[in-house]
Amino acid sequence: MHNYRNLKVFALLIPLLTLLSSCKNEFKGNDYVAYFGGEIVNPNSPYVLFCKDNEVIDSIKLDKNNRFFVQFDSLAPGLYTFKHEPEYQYIYFDKNDSLMVRVNTRDFDNSVVFCGRGDQKNNFLMEQYLKNEKDKNRLFEAFDYDIDKFTKAIDSSYQVATKFYTNKKEELKWNESFDVYAKAALDFPYYSRRELYPMVHKMRTGNDVYEQIPTDFYNFRKKVDCNNVALSSYSPFVMYLSHMLNNMGSINYHNHFTEVDLALKTNVNKMNIADTLIKNEKVKNTILNNIAFTYLLEDQNMVNNQTFLDTYHKISTDKSQKNEITKIGNAIQLLKAGSQLPEVTLIDRNGHKISSTTFTNKKTVLFFWTANAVSHLEGVHKKILSFQKAHPEYQFIGININDTQDEWKNLLKKYKFDTITELRCVDFEDIKAKWVITKIHRTIILGDNGAIKNAFTNIFELNFEEELK
């Protein structure tokens, strides 16, 4: 399978690969020249972003064939990301690597294939990532098991992954700098499953096993360097630290707390533990931002938000204007109940621009969808159609967030959601900033005169219909 995909990539990118080959013998010992190019099938935007530690290094424009190419005169070896909104993946460059990638946005992760100098290491990272994703789905039911059976299941999976990693390391003979990421891709998903077990087991079965956890169950924590700055932007590491802090920061005896107060106390507790455990500022700020981002999007209690942000700002040393948490906190304050929804520009089926103020003056339900999530597209519209009949006093408006005008219109023609008002997002960054749209499972309810009733609900929640009354 991989051989066929690689052959397809080479065939499509021969002109670029020829250029790379002609440069192969021109490197000098002190050169750090690197090349990056490829092809985006079914592009969502005209650009590929090349980033380091979440900062954009270059914005590379696609040509008429949806291909791109860039030369970096001096690129430090290390881990980078390439983004084609809304997706991204990692790419590792050693000195003088020249890498090409082919991606189909309709199946982004499964379609990524690298070729060129340095391709084998990167294809290993992709393959390891896909194996982890497959294991995550396959092992989900294991969280229902008792602790011995659960441990046996995930240990068996980890042994298979370790063998794959060891064989590839011996075959490719990669250096220690790359091994930091290769080993992290192996270890941290496994560590995360151990951290998640007591919480997920309780959610799925109702059984609290915290008191039954063996004393050596978390011994692996001794091997984790929480201050590893090289991994500060690497998702397996960041997610592991988040799961660890969720576990360590949980409050197990909380019957006297309301749900929102418990969420506040738990997340403040997590930030304080992070402050104690993590001394490197870059790593600490990354983890604090991760905690804050998750909390602010899940709990929109305005009083608690301010208490949470006070603690966040006291601990975090990220004071820059670019701080996403500050932006999100400010935006959320503008979306509290009783406020008017900030104005954004949308577009209708005829290509006419529509201000949100023209329709947000009555009871309204706003929901979001994209062609990249077909099951959600179908599920959310099915729900809306049923609510339309039960609640004729509301207007229901679907907003497509990232498809082209033609793709969007073709989908509407195919599904025939004629009784639902459908609009399309013109500028996703604007609506993301003003309405804090970070996931499609988001619904906004407006009450009388268009005043916000609940800007952070989900149409699939059990009590959603109660909010319409």
pLDDT of residue 16: 47
Q: Is 9 helix (H, G, I), strand (E, B) or coil?
A: helix
Domains 2-117 and 345-467 are alike in CATH topology: no
Structure tokens at 75: 């690129």
How crowded is residue 101: how many other Cβ atoms within 10 Å of its Cβ? 25
pLDDT of residue 19: 40
- Is residue 392 classed exposed, middle or buried when 0-12, 13-18 and 19+ CB atoms within 10 A define those classes? exposed
pLDDT of residue 270: 94
Decide: 81 and 66 in contact? Cβ < 8 Å: no
Which are the contacts of 389, defined by CB distance < 8 A and separation ≥ 6?
none
Decide: 406 and 438 in contact? Cβ < 8 Å: no
Decide: 328 and 436 in contact? Cβ < 8 Å: yes
Q: What string of pLDDT tens digits covers the 469 residues of the chain?
A: 444 444 444 444 444 444 444 344 443 444 678 899 999 998 888 999 999 988 899 999 999 999 999 999 889 999 999 999 878 999 999 988 899 999 998 888 999 999 999 999 999 999 999 999 888 888 888 999 999 999 999 999 999 999 999 999 999 999 999 999 999 999 999 999 999 999 899 888 888 898 899 999 999 999 999 999 999 999 999 999 999 999 998 876 655 677 778 888 889 999 999 999 999 999 999 899 889 888 887 655 666 777 888 899 899 988 775 577 878 888 888 888 899 999 999 999 999 999 999 887 889 999 999 887 888 899 999 999 999 999 999 999 999 998 889 889 999 999 988 889 999 998 888 998 899 887 788 899 999 888 999 988 888 887 889 999 8
Decide: 293 and 331 in contact? Cβ < 8 Å: no
The CATH number of the domain covering residues in 345-467: 3.40.30.10
Which are the contacts of 317, defined by CB distance < 8 A and separation ≥ 6?
281, 284, 285
At position 380, the amino acid (one-letter code) is V
pLDDT of residue 444: 94
* Residue 289 phi, psi (nearest 5): -65, -40
At position 16, the amino acid (one-letter code) is L
Structure tokens at 163: 């063998």
339-357 exposure pattern, b = at least 16 Cβ within 10 A, e = fewer: ebbbebebbeeeeeebebe
pLDDT of residue 22: 38
Alpha-carbon torsion, ordered 435, 441, 442, 445, to 10 deg: 150
Nearest-angstrom CA–CA distance, 89 and 101: 11
> Where in the chain are the domains?
2-117, 127-333, 345-467
Nearest-angstrom CA–CA distance, 412 and 393: 24
pLDDT of residue 302: 62
What CA–CA distances, in Å, run from 156 to 139, 190, 309? 11, 11, 42
pLDDT of residue 31: 61
Q: What is the pTM of this model?
A: 0.73
pLDDT of residue 69: 94
Nearest-angstrom CA–CA distance, 366 and 396: 6
Tell which CATH architecture fits domain 2-117.
Sandwich (2.60)
